[in-house]
Structure 1
Amino acid sequence: MKSNLDLIKNFIEWWKERIYASTLIIYKLISDQDIKSKQKYYRSFINCMKNSYKNIYTTATEDVRMLLNIKKLKNESD
Protein backbone atom coordinates (compact mmCIF):
# COMPACT_ATOMS: atom_id res chain seq x y z
CA MET A 1 0.00 0.00 0.00
CA LYS A 2 2.86 2.37 0.80
CA SER A 3 4.44 1.77 -2.61
CA ASN A 4 1.11 2.57 -4.29
CA LEU A 5 0.89 5.80 -2.34
CA ASP A 6 4.47 6.67 -3.31
CA LEU A 7 3.65 6.01 -6.95
CA ILE A 8 0.61 8.30 -6.81
CA LYS A 9 2.59 10.94 -4.93
CA ASN A 10 5.37 10.92 -7.54
CA PHE A 11 2.86 11.06 -10.38
CA ILE A 12 1.14 14.08 -8.82
CA GLU A 13 4.44 15.84 -8.16
CA TRP A 14 5.54 15.36 -11.78
CA TRP A 15 2.21 16.37 -13.33
CA LYS A 16 0.85 18.83 -10.74
CA GLU A 17 0.59 21.67 -13.28
CA ARG A 18 -1.87 19.63 -15.32
CA ILE A 19 -3.86 17.95 -12.54
CA TYR A 20 -6.84 19.45 -10.78
CA ALA A 21 -8.07 17.40 -7.83
CA SER A 22 -11.52 18.44 -6.71
CA THR A 23 -12.21 17.41 -3.12
CA LEU A 24 -15.88 17.03 -4.02
CA ILE A 25 -15.09 14.46 -6.72
CA ILE A 26 -12.77 12.56 -4.38
CA TYR A 27 -15.41 12.73 -1.68
CA LYS A 28 -18.08 11.26 -3.98
CA LEU A 29 -15.77 8.47 -5.12
CA ILE A 30 -14.74 7.23 -1.67
CA SER A 31 -17.80 7.91 0.42
CA ASP A 32 -21.24 6.42 0.74
CA GLN A 33 -23.79 8.08 -1.50
CA ASP A 34 -25.99 9.02 1.45
CA ILE A 35 -23.23 11.07 3.14
CA LYS A 36 -23.61 14.70 2.14
CA SER A 37 -21.35 16.46 4.59
CA LYS A 38 -17.76 17.49 3.89
CA GLN A 39 -17.30 17.47 7.64
CA LYS A 40 -17.89 13.70 7.70
CA TYR A 41 -15.42 13.34 4.84
CA TYR A 42 -12.70 15.11 6.82
CA ARG A 43 -13.69 13.27 10.00
CA SER A 44 -13.03 9.96 8.24
CA PHE A 45 -9.40 11.02 7.75
CA ILE A 46 -9.14 11.98 11.41
CA ASN A 47 -10.55 8.62 12.46
CA CYS A 48 -8.00 6.85 10.28
CA MET A 49 -5.22 8.93 11.82
CA LYS A 50 -6.39 7.79 15.28
CA ASN A 51 -6.24 4.13 14.23
CA SER A 52 -3.81 1.91 16.13
CA TYR A 53 -2.44 0.24 12.98
CA LYS A 54 0.62 2.03 11.63
CA ASN A 55 -0.10 1.37 7.95
CA ILE A 56 -3.55 2.99 8.30
CA TYR A 57 -2.60 6.12 10.24
CA THR A 58 0.56 6.78 8.23
CA THR A 59 -1.34 6.50 4.95
CA ALA A 60 -4.12 8.76 6.24
CA THR A 61 -1.57 11.30 7.45
CA GLU A 62 0.17 11.29 4.08
CA ASP A 63 -3.17 11.74 2.29
CA VAL A 64 -4.08 14.70 4.49
CA ARG A 65 -0.66 16.24 3.88
CA MET A 66 -1.08 15.89 0.11
CA LEU A 67 -4.62 17.34 0.23
CA LEU A 68 -3.42 20.32 2.28
CA ASN A 69 -0.55 20.92 -0.16
CA ILE A 70 -2.97 20.84 -3.09
CA LYS A 71 -5.31 23.23 -1.30
CA LYS A 72 -2.37 25.54 -0.51
CA LEU A 73 -1.18 25.50 -4.13
CA LYS A 74 -4.69 26.23 -5.34
CA ASN A 75 -5.01 29.21 -2.97
CA GLU A 76 -1.61 30.55 -4.06
CA SER A 77 -2.60 30.38 -7.72
CA ASP A 78 -5.91 32.25 -7.18
Structure 2
Amino acid sequence: MNADSGKTGAYDRRKRRVALVIAAAGLLAIFGPMIAGALGLAADYDLMFYFASLAAFVWAFAAAVRMRRNPPGDDD
Protein backbone atom coordinates (compact mmCIF):
# COMPACT_ATOMS: atom_id res chain seq x y z
CA MET A 1 0.00 0.00 0.00
CA ASN A 2 1.31 3.40 -0.95
CA ALA A 3 1.93 6.08 1.69
CA ASP A 4 -0.13 8.57 -0.34
CA SER A 5 -3.16 6.30 -0.48
CA GLY A 6 -4.18 7.37 3.04
CA LYS A 7 -4.10 11.00 1.98
CA THR A 8 -6.03 10.25 -1.19
CA GLY A 9 -8.64 8.27 0.76
CA ALA A 10 -9.20 11.18 3.14
CA TYR A 11 -9.38 13.55 0.18
CA ASP A 12 -11.99 11.36 -1.50
CA ARG A 13 -14.05 11.25 1.70
CA ARG A 14 -13.99 15.05 1.87
CA LYS A 15 -15.10 15.26 -1.77
CA ARG A 16 -17.99 12.89 -1.10
CA ARG A 17 -18.99 14.84 2.01
CA VAL A 18 -19.04 18.12 0.05
CA ALA A 19 -21.08 16.50 -2.72
CA LEU A 20 -23.61 15.12 -0.22
CA VAL A 21 -23.94 18.49 1.52
CA ILE A 22 -24.56 20.22 -1.82
CA ALA A 23 -27.20 17.63 -2.76
CA ALA A 24 -28.90 17.82 0.65
CA ALA A 25 -28.90 21.63 0.60
CA GLY A 26 -30.49 21.66 -2.83
CA LEU A 27 -33.17 19.21 -1.78
CA LEU A 28 -33.82 21.20 1.39
CA ALA A 29 -34.22 24.40 -0.61
CA ILE A 30 -36.69 22.71 -2.94
CA PHE A 31 -38.69 20.50 -0.61
CA GLY A 32 -38.40 22.36 2.71
CA PRO A 33 -41.02 24.99 1.92
CA MET A 34 -43.32 22.35 0.45
CA ILE A 35 -43.08 20.29 3.64
CA ALA A 36 -43.65 23.37 5.79
CA GLY A 37 -46.71 24.26 3.73
CA ALA A 38 -48.06 20.73 3.94
CA LEU A 39 -47.66 20.77 7.73
CA GLY A 40 -49.33 24.16 7.98
CA LEU A 41 -46.27 25.90 9.45
CA ALA A 42 -45.80 29.65 9.29
CA ALA A 43 -43.89 31.31 6.47
CA ASP A 44 -41.01 31.91 8.89
CA TYR A 45 -40.16 28.23 8.57
CA ASP A 46 -39.76 28.63 4.80
CA LEU A 47 -37.18 31.27 5.47
CA MET A 48 -35.46 29.03 8.01
CA PHE A 49 -35.16 26.27 5.41
CA TYR A 50 -33.70 28.70 2.88
CA PHE A 51 -31.15 30.03 5.38
CA ALA A 52 -30.15 26.50 6.38
CA SER A 53 -29.59 25.55 2.74
CA LEU A 54 -27.67 28.78 2.14
CA ALA A 55 -25.41 28.01 5.10
CA ALA A 56 -24.81 24.52 3.72
CA PHE A 57 -23.92 25.92 0.29
CA VAL A 58 -21.48 28.41 1.86
CA TRP A 59 -19.85 25.64 3.90
CA ALA A 60 -19.55 23.42 0.81
CA PHE A 61 -17.98 26.25 -1.19
CA ALA A 62 -15.46 26.96 1.58
CA ALA A 63 -14.62 23.26 1.90
CA ALA A 64 -14.15 22.95 -1.87
CA VAL A 65 -11.83 25.96 -1.90
CA ARG A 66 -9.78 24.46 0.95
CA MET A 67 -9.52 21.16 -0.93
CA ARG A 68 -8.52 22.96 -4.11
CA ARG A 69 -5.74 24.83 -2.30
CA ASN A 70 -4.41 21.71 -0.52
CA PRO A 71 -4.62 18.72 -2.88
CA PRO A 72 -3.27 15.33 -1.77
CA GLY A 73 0.44 14.98 -2.23
CA ASP A 74 1.02 18.67 -1.52
CA ASP A 75 3.62 18.52 1.28
CA ASP A 76 3.59 22.20 2.25
TM-score above 0.5? no
Q: Which has the higher contact order (CA 8 A, sep 6+)?
A: 2
TM-score by length of 2: 0.43
| Greater radius of gyration (CA) | 2
TM-score by length of 1: 0.42
